Amino acid sequence: MIIVLERQIRDDHKDRIRRFLEQHGFRVREIVGEEETIFGAVGQLSIDHREVEVLPGVVRVIPISKPFKLASRELKREDTIVPVGDVKIGSGRVAVIAGPCSVENPDVMYETAEIVKRSGGVMLRGGAFKPRTSPYAFQGSGEDGLKLLREVGDHFGMPIVSEIVSSEHYDMMREYVDVFQIGTRNMQNFELLKVVGAGGMPVILKRGLAATIQEWLMAAEYLLAHGSEHVILCERGIRTFETATRNTLDISAIPVAKKLTHLPIMVDPSHATGIREKVSPVALASIAAGADGLLVEVHPRPEEALSDGPQTLFPEQFERLMRDIEALCPVVEKQLSRLPEKGERRPQFSGMRSPGSEVAAAGERSGREVADGERRAEELAVAFQGEHGAYSEIALRRFFQSDDIRSAPCSEFRDVFDSVLEGKTRFGVLPIENSLSGSIHENYDLLLQYPDLRIVGEIKIRIIHSLIAVPGAELQDIERVYSHPQGFAQCARFLAEHPDWERVPFYDTAGSVAHIAREGDKRCAAIAGAEAARAYGMHVIKEGLETNPQNYTRFVVLVREEYAATPNPDKASIVFTTSDTPGALFECLRVIAERKLNMKKLESRPILGKPWHPMFYVDMEIPSLEVFEAAYAALGEVAENLRLLGTYRAQ
């Protein structure tokens, strides 16, 4: 059962409720959510739920109808995030775990790990104990293999994953691995599940060859019931009559399980297909279906692999797959997880990921130098323009992915700049360009007016507009709709279907949702993101209103110049003017071209007070900071008023 507690419940009341449940044979787990705190009580005994409802501090009691209790979405509405060192799996992230099927010799393992890390994988996998169908096949290298896997993982700063096949190996393996994997043949080895669950370490649970989704979730329940809080499900294909592939990937299991459980779900496309050429398309389809990550087999020379060579990717195939995943992530509103560069220390607050983690870590180091190690809570805040639920707030959450970052709404774009400059917040997030409407010139102009600020990060998000109203309102009730003028323009086709609606321009899309929430009128609706509806307890009547689905906005992250230190930047933004002579712009662009820096944007803007004398903004990809610095110095010889807006990591 689920026991919803009062918001300001007294500690003695909470303790009394817990003791009452435990005395009646229930296991109790406390879950603190954004809106409420609950007790999840699971046990074989049953009592009249009214006995619990009358206890002081209890708001209501909700029975869990599913046979799996702790894994059920009824128990926990928010997605579970599983932390593994610097990696977090679940809730808006795509984490890729890769490596050979079996741990092999040191040369292969070091070479494979370098490929995985360079391409963007966040964890290293490898089997030391291999449950094989044939007793004559390679069975793994045992503890020696685990020692090697640990050594290689530590060298590259990657957590490691390996399969456990016997409960007798648990104590030995926990000294080496960061995540246990329970394979398909052991999904219903309940004694093994009990032992691994009691250990409390993160576990990847693969679906059995012929297991139903409910049986899969009941196996996860064993792990959760015996103590583990960090369970990751893995779909790896099931046995069907089809022989064209090794197994049949049940891709529909991903959205089905997502609705049933709060646990993160990964996919193993290598074992699902068994055919190298099929791995990448199936992997991308899994991400599109909602998977939180992938387990992929990769080897520097698959033809020499000790096991599963035909389904193992070549390095160039894995690198291409990672690039494709990165391109797909914004479409499905997720971000590709990345590790911090070796030697970069994570900030003290949790949940950051690269490149946001690198930005925050660099800012923290600079802050220590400036303030002798003292940091105020305000320095961990991020300013954005708009109300809570705005697309800018969505962008900052995806960039930093930290529960410890406080978002600070501002009325105007200029207020964001002022907030960062004055030290009220450490970071600022601003929209800079939209794929349909182009540059947001106000913010480009403000970048010039605040020379003490620098760009240290970039993120692109897809803009999906929804029609939002008060709970209980329906489409036929609407008479008036509020939104930012750009929101109206981007949803013109939908609005044309409702010519009778009065359109009321508002300064901010999320602000329009806040307005209708205050009004409480069923006749009023707003066009904004679904996140704004959740922020104000409103109801989404219809999603996907935008006329053109290729609607993306690019946001930049700003800090004060003394905090601007992004490790290994891959992009730079500059601004300059030229002399009023023929070929002046050409000479500047020649400097960029000769150093093979790929321009991503070139735009001119008028200079206030100097009609017909433009300033040029340039975004470019940079192979390294050293190459860019050399180009920047050369550009200073031919350009006028050259200024650096920032070097940063883009995604």
> pLDDT (tens digit, 9 = 90+) per residue, 337-347?
888 655 333 33
pLDDT cut 90: percent of the chain above it:
63
Q: What is the mean pLDDT of residues 87-111?
A: 92
CB crowding 144-156: b at 16 or more within 10 Å, else e: ebbebbbebbeeb
What does the longest C-alpha to C-alpha distance in the chain come to?
88
Q: Give the chain's radius of gyration (CA, Å).
A: 27
User: C-alpha 13: how far from its chain's center?
Assistant: 37
Per-residue pLDDT, averaged over 57-82, amounts to 84
User: For 640-649, what is each residue's pLDDT tens digit?
Assistant: 889 999 999 8
For the segment 587-611, the average pLDDT, to the nearest whole number, is 88
pTM for the full predicted model: 0.66
626, burial (CB in 10 Å: exposed 0-12, middle 13-18, buried 19+): exposed
Res. 326 pLDDT band, cuts 50 70 90: confident
Closest CA to 208 of 233, 183, 245: 183
The full set of domains in the chain, from first to last, is 2-62 (3.30.70.1140), 82-336 (3.20.20.70), 356-462 (3.40.190.10), 466-543 (3.40.190.10), 569-648 (3.30.70.260)
Instruction: Mark residue 571 as left, alpha or beta (left: phi above 0; alpha: psi -120 to 50; beta: remaining).
Output: beta
Residue 25: partners with Cβ closer than 8 Å, 6 or more residues away: 43, 44, 45
Q: Which helix (H) or strand (E) holds 468?
A: strand 466-469
Is 555 assigned a catalytic role? yes
DSSP at 377:
G
CB of 573 closer than 8 Å to CB of 618: yes
What pLDDT does residue 468 have? Answer: 97
Among 553, 566, 578, 647, the active-site one is 553
Q: How confident is the model at residue 54 (pLDDT cuts 50, 70, 90)?
A: confident
What torsion, rounded to 10 degrees, do the Cα atoms 208, 213, 218, 219 define?
A: 20
pLDDT for 34 equals 57
The one catalytic residue in 39, 180, 555, 628 is: 555
| 248 tagged catalytic | no
pLDDT of residue 601: 93
pLDDT in tens, 342-380: 533 333 323 333 345 445 554 544 443 333 333 443 447
